[in-house]
Amino acid sequence: MTRRTQRPTTPPRAPWGWALVGTSLGLALVLVLAAPAHWLAWGLALATAQRVQLHHAQGTIWDGSAQLSLGTDDAQAPRSALPGRLAWQLQPSWLGLHVQLQAPCCLSGSWDWMLRPQSSGLLVKAQDRNPLQALRLPSTVLAGLGTPWNTLQLQGTLALSTKGLSISMAPGRLNLQGQLQLQALDISTSLSTLRPIGSYQLRMQGGAEPTLELQTLEGALQLQGSGRMTSGRLQFAGFASAAAGREEALANLLNIIGRRDGARSVIQVG
């Protein structure tokens, strides 16, 4: 007779072992769901080299609020902040991460965004917002970004709107589709006694090489220019001039914002 070899049986896991595994998984789940909002604040500051920060964060990373501020990577430089708190809600899904932002100071209703991982990076899509529903910010927030905004000390309103905006980000590459529009309304500056100096519109149109167009909506200071993003670098050319009869009042400002070429000031980037 052939003698069967009896395989050793695996001893059943002790009850306390299963309890330990269950407790560990439960703690991990609670930790993820209840992760404090200041973890998100730390991650955002790290990802933006301290340029965007969330202060006095409350709640969790999934449902929280904080005071948002803008600045440079210089920790000693002054920063500028939104006039109210920013609230967020994050909802994971099979498609990615749904982000809902609320800022009663500056935004009517909520603004929805979708973050979707890709094989080579991240896709960011924004809910459309027409100019009547634009995100409205005091132009003083620009001062925290350093030169030249801290010199110009602009006062007025910035209105940001989008249409079909999606941004695909990968190492060394950024692809923008759709339209982003920024209006600077009733702008004044400490460099001119005229108040306001005008209202302006900057429009970015996505594509293989996104284009920019700057135009004057109204005002004594006339701005005009165009440019494009090539290989991630901005190339922009434009000019500034004073409306008839306003040359003297705007002379100092024209000397600062560009290179003088007769009555005009030439603006060149890239």
- Residue 36 tokens read as 């404090």
State the pLDDT confidence band at 18, using cuts at 50, 70 and 90.
Answer: very low
DSSP 42-91: HHHHHHTTTSEEEEEEEEBSSEEEEEEEE--S-TTS--EE-SS-EEEEEE
Amino acid at position 166, single letter: S
Question: 153 with 142: CB under 8 angstroms?
Answer: no
* Mode of pairing for the β-strands spanning 259-261 and 264-269: antiparallel
Q: What's the gap between Cα 180 and its chain centre? A: 12
Question: 68 with 82: CB under 8 angstroms?
Answer: yes
* Helix/strand/coil for 191: coil
Question: What percent of the chain is predicted at pLDDT more than 70?
Answer: 87
Q: How far apart are CA 100 and CA 146, in angstroms?
A: 29
pLDDT tens per residue, range 67-113: 999 998 787 888 999 999 999 999 988 889 999 999 999 999 999 99
Amino acid at position 145, single letter: L
Q: How far apart are CA 109 and CA 246, in angstroms?
A: 40
Tell me the whole-structure pTM to 2 decimals: 0.83
Q: Who contacts 214 (Cβ-Cβ below 8 Å, separation ≥6)?
A: 200, 201, 202, 223, 224, 225, 226, 236, 238
Q: Who contacts 266 (Cβ-Cβ below 8 Å, separation ≥6)?
A: 237, 238, 239, 258, 259, 260
pLDDT tens per residue, range 209-237: 899 999 999 999 999 999 998 877 889 99
Check whether 123 has a pLDDT greater than 50.
yes
Write down the pLDDT at residue 27. 40
